């Protein structure tokens, strides 16, 4: 069912201050079992997989998404489910946020704007959307006392030392650089979550997501793996930004959705902030080669200077590797889907989609010829 809401440091003595001391572990689960779950951004790439998982686990699910990046097609497999409600609206609107949580038992806040290309093209929209939606949902959840899991981003670590550890200081970057603005908006959302938890006793966990890949992800806003798959299947040059030696750790979206649900139901989360992703490190050029081999493609691999694609000063970190000790302690397992299996799945899905599109076009052409 679909409905729409109207828019309506250190101390002066040199020692660490108590406000910067490590936060206590989360002893009570955000969710004690199937209930009424809200998923903001639930029509998005990760959100739609989480929605399916929640429905499988007997939750009633209310999706709220303004479709700025999500698509109702992502929910096609569950669109007629009796325990699913979909609202097309923005949770950055305070009235929408308050109505959204009115009868909720738990909120999974995934609404936001992602993609380095979109950040480069629309920095204001990206930063404001991420900060305002999180602020709005935290306030609404706090007023109603509804537990919330907030998704953040590994971008908050900036150029910090790897592996990235949750308790380390964030390094979003220079205020003269756009990428740092996205990271800072995400970090500010985390600080707000901690403030609501400390001051208002709001039950909250923050999940810092690393590179997540899988079905329903598109390459529209700079996502590297779907872009490589499309280029390889079309026989086009596969464009690798920079030298290609920069590394990323790719986790399957189904593993990530399962990890998020695990964090919400775990009574052993060892800290308020938890990295979520894979620790299997892969150079971007190696990823391109894996895709080309899986697609049996003749595409060349072409290095494109980073400055030819993104604004001056836009920095791409050389490595992004999470420490997953907290995630393992909380859930008892880690995302382990091999990257070659993920690549093979996505190549096959894209190939099947292309065949279906060609068949549909042929049928439409034949129908047009018969009518004429």
Q: Which domains does the chain possess?
A: 22-213+253-277+321-335 (3.40.50.720)
Query: Is the confidence at residue 264, as pLDDT, over 80?
Result: yes
Q: Greater confidence, 371 or 126?
A: 126
Chain centroid offset of residue 13 CA: 40
Q: Which of 70-74, 123-127, 129-133 has the highest mean pLDDT?
A: 70-74
- The residues, ordered by sequence, that sit 6+ positions from 111 with a Cβ below 8 Å of its Cβ are 40, 41, 44, 47, 64, 65, 66, 90, 91, 133, 137
The predicted structure's pLDDT at residue 263: 98
pTM: 0.89
Where in the sequence numbering do the catalytic residues fall? 182
Query: Is the confidence at residue 2, as pLDDT, over 60?
Result: no
pLDDT band (50, 70, 90) for residue 197: very high
* Biggest CA-to-CA distance, the chain: 86
pLDDT band (50, 70, 90) for residue 19: very low
Per-chain mean pLDDT for the chain: 89
What is the C-alpha to C-alpha distance for residues 237 and 27, in angstroms, rounded to an integer? 51
Query: Is the confidence at residue 71, as pLDDT, over 70?
Result: yes
The closest alpha carbon to 171, from 17, 163, 180, belongs to: 180
Query: Is the confidence at residue 317, as pLDDT, over 90?
Result: no
Tokens of 304: 């494109």
Tokens of 240: 């690798």
Query: Is the confidence at residue 8, as pLDDT, over 90?
Result: no
The closest alpha carbon to 109, from 76, 152, 71, belongs to: 152
The predicted structure's pLDDT at residue 328: 98
Mean pLDDT calculated for residue range 164-174: 91
* 34-60 pLDDT tens trace: 999 999 999 999 999 999 999 999 999
Provide the percentage of residues in the chain whose pLDDT is more than 70. Answer: 87
At 344 the three-state DSSP class reads: helix
pLDDT band (50, 70, 90) for residue 356: low
pLDDT band (50, 70, 90) for residue 307: confident
Strands 281-283 and 247-249: antiparallel
Chain centroid offset of residue 166 CA: 17
User: b/e for 198-213, b at 16 or more Cβ within 10 A?
Assistant: eeeebbbbbbbbbbbb
* Tokens 């999470």, residue located: 322
The predicted structure's pLDDT at residue 7: 43
Tokens of 171: 């390094």
Mean pLDDT calculated for residue range 100-126: 87
């Amino acid at each position: 069912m679909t409905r729409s809401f109207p828019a309506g440091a250190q101390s002066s003595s040199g020692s660490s201050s108590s406000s910067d001391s490590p936060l206590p572990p989360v002893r009570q689960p955000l969710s004690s079992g199937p209930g009424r779950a809200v998923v903001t951004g639930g029509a998005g790439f990760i959100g739609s997989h989480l929605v399916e998982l929640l429905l499988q686990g007997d939750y009633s699910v209310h999706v709220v998404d303004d479709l700025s990046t999500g698509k109702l097609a992502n929910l096609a497999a569950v669109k007629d489910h009796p325990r699913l409600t979909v609202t097309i609206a923005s949770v950055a609107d305070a009235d929408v946020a308050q109505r959204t949580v009115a009868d909720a038992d738990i909120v999974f806040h995934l609404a936001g704007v992602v993609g380095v290309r979109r950040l480069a093209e629309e920095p204001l929209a990206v930063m404001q959307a991420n900060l305002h939606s999180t602020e709005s949902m935290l306030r609404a959840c706090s007023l109603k006392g509804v537990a919330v899991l907030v998704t953040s981003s590994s971008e908050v670590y900036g150029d910090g030392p790897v592996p990235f550890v949750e308790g380390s200081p964030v390094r979003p970057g220079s205020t003269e650089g756009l990428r740092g603005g996205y990271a800072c908006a995400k970090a500010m959302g985390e600080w707000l979550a901690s403030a609501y938890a400390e001051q208002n006793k709001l039950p909250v966990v923050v999940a810092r997501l690393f590179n997540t890949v899988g079905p329903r992800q598109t390459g529209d806003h700079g996502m590297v793996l779907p872009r490589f798959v499309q280029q390889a299947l079309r026989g086009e040059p596969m464009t690798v930004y920079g030298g290609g030696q920069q590394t990323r750790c790719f986790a399957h979206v189904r593993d990530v959705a399962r990890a998020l649900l695990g964090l919400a139901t775990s009574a052993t989360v060892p800290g308020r902030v938890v990295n979520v992703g894979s620790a299997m490190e892969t150079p971007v050029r190696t990823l391109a080669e894996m895709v080309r081999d899986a697609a049996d493609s003749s595409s060349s691999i072409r290095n494109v200077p980073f400055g030819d694609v993104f604004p001056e000063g836009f920095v791409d970190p050389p490595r992004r590797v999470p420490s997953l000790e907290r995630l393992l302690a909380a859930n008892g397992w880690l995302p382990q889907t091999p990257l070659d299996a993920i690549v093979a799945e996505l190549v096959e899905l894209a190939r099947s989609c292309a065949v279906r599109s060609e068949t549909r076009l042929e049928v439409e052409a034949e129908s047009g010829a018969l009518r004429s």
